[in-house]
Amino acid sequence: MANRDIAAARAYHNATKHSYSSVRASGHRLDWDNRPLPFKVYPHLEAIRLPQDLPPLRLPALEAIARLEAERATAIPDLSGLAQLLYLSAGITRRRRYPGGEIHFRAASHTGAMYAIELYAVCGDLPGLPAGVYHFGPGDFALRCLRAGDWRGVLARASGGEAATAHAPVVIVSTGTYWRNAWKYQSRTYRHFGWDNGTLLANLLAAATASDWPARVVLGFADEPVNALLGLDTEREVALSLVPVGHLEARSPEITASLPPIAHETVPLGKREVDYPAMREMHAATVLRTGAQAAAWRASPAPQADTAPQAGTASSGATHPLAPPDEAPAPHDGIHQVILRRGSTRSFAARPITLAQLSTVLRAATQGVPADFLNPPHALLNDVYIIAHAVEGLPSGAYVLQRDPWALQPLKAGAFRAEAGYLGLEQQLPADASVAIYYLADLEAICERFGNRGYRAVQLEAGILGGKVYLAAYALTLGATGLTFYDDDVIDFFAPHAAGKSAIFHMAVGRSAQRTAD
């Protein structure tokens, strides 16, 4: 199916919507005896242990989150620096034993703790690491070499000569493993790929910034050569994004030889995999075939989220300015500290946060994303809507964020805790939080511009924005969590302002009930 046949994205999105009736009619039950392994394991490849004595990154977390991109001076990560990036984006930060085994907590949140995103590094010679294609294993914090030699030129060509990719000493490739997420979330997994990869990339971008290495999200690439380079079985695992890290004046060497196939043995994820064709069909509909297609795909500006004040709402004439930056709290914890203490809040205390705290979170999270599909980088595909329950200095009600000038435009006033709980799949978390945050987007306009791959882009961007909210909230010693939602009910709640948009992702922020010193 061609990328330009955007009926595919529309059909998939509609088919995977949650509603009050669809959730009750699902009948899906978790088969615990067939739960997938949380790691990809290559049993016959030698482990290259990564250094574990990693110095903390001391750039204040809020600065690392909000800054778009480091300057493009010559910047080459060494093995320790690469280990730091991998650890802070996909590493195991805590382990907890229980009678049935052990729980591994990762640096970035993933839906249902299923950890469907794998990371690979494609590099030239780095200090301490020979050129090669490597898989990162969080379980033993090690790399395994899938191909020796410098294959960065494959990625440069696949991206259509995208500058950051062509000049990067190392490119981090994210992939999604279908069954590891579909075991729990079935066909909706393709949405989760964007959210989970996005929260991971929010960490990766912040860690790269704190290390003074330029990093950029590249979504425009020919899929087949990237999958082949990694030796992926594309019925089970597919490349989702590239993140070139660092900068060299010289371009990656051209690859003139054909790419030899590889098929390293891996341990099966479980007893059997259940197929949900819709998620694989959605991915197939987003595929780009050549580097030239990839270059054309990102050539013109993307449609931007609607952040200007709008008439036609109950309170269209008044806005609530966000607290200016000089009034905002300025914690000095480094991004390293914040990532290590981040979690997914399991209960909120139903106590207020301040407008300055909310303003800090929103500003840090929505400055922009260094990505090839966003031009300029501060443009966003997603609009940010909120339901404020308990924010000192802000009346309870529904709002939409505008970024020029920075303010919250009221949509309707009132106490909506019960409504927020219902919208979040009838969970208590968004009802007890201080603020429920929703990312909504005009899918028709995005897919008209980008084709079906625009669906990949908008989900990924929402995940990155959500990941930034996680980090900003924890920098302020608040709590945060990502949630699923009743799609059309979210749009109806924010109507008429949200008419014609689609619900993409959902976050809740507030004071964690597990903390005693917030």
CB-CB neighbours of 42 under 10 Å = 17
Of 389, 383, 381, 377, give the one whose Cα is nearest residue 402: 383
β-strand 502-510 against 479-483: which pairing, if any? antiparallel
In the DSSP assignment, the letter for residue 392 is E
Answer yes or no: is 20 within a domain.
Answer: no
Contact 141, 89 (CB under 8 A): no
Helix axes 189-210, 453-475, angle to 10 degrees: 50
Residues 236, 379, single domain; the answer is: no
Residues 90, 125, single domain; the answer is: yes
For the chain, 518 residues long, give each residue's pLDDT as a single digit of tens.
689 999 999 999 999 999 999 999 998 999 999 999 999 999 999 999 999 999 999 899 999 999 887 666 789 999 999 999 999 999 999 888 777 677 888 999 999 999 999 999 999 999 999 999 999 999 999 999 999 999 999 999 999 999 999 999 999 999 999 999 999 999 999 999 999 999 999 999 999 999 999 999 999 999 999 999 999 999 999 999 999 999 999 999 998 888 999 999 999 999 999 999 999 999 999 999 999 999 999 987 667 776 555 554 554 558 999 998 877 777 889 999 999 998 888 999 978 999 999 999 999 999 999 999 998 878 999 999 999 999 999 999 999 999 989 999 999 999 999 999 999 999 999 999 999 999 999 999 999 999 999 999 999 999 999 999 999 999 999 999 999 999 999 999 999 999 999 999 999 999 998 753 33
Q: Which residue has tokens 């308990």?
A: 390
Answer yes or no: is 414 within a domain.
Answer: yes
pTM of the model: 0.95
Residues 162, 194, single domain; the answer is: yes
Residues 225, 353, single domain; the answer is: no
Residues 280, 330, single domain; the answer is: no
Q: Find the Cα–Cα–Cα–Cα dihedral 174, 239, 159, 211, rounded to 10°.
A: 0
CB-CB neighbours of 424 under 10 Å = 25
What CATH number should be reported for the domain holding residue 120?
3.40.109.10
Question: At residue 207, what are phi and psi to the nearest 5 degrees?
Answer: -65, -40
Residues 386, 467, single domain; the answer is: yes
Domain span at 403: 320-510
Distance between CA atoms of 284 and 130, rounded to whole angstroms? Answer: 34
Helix/strand/coil for 171 = strand
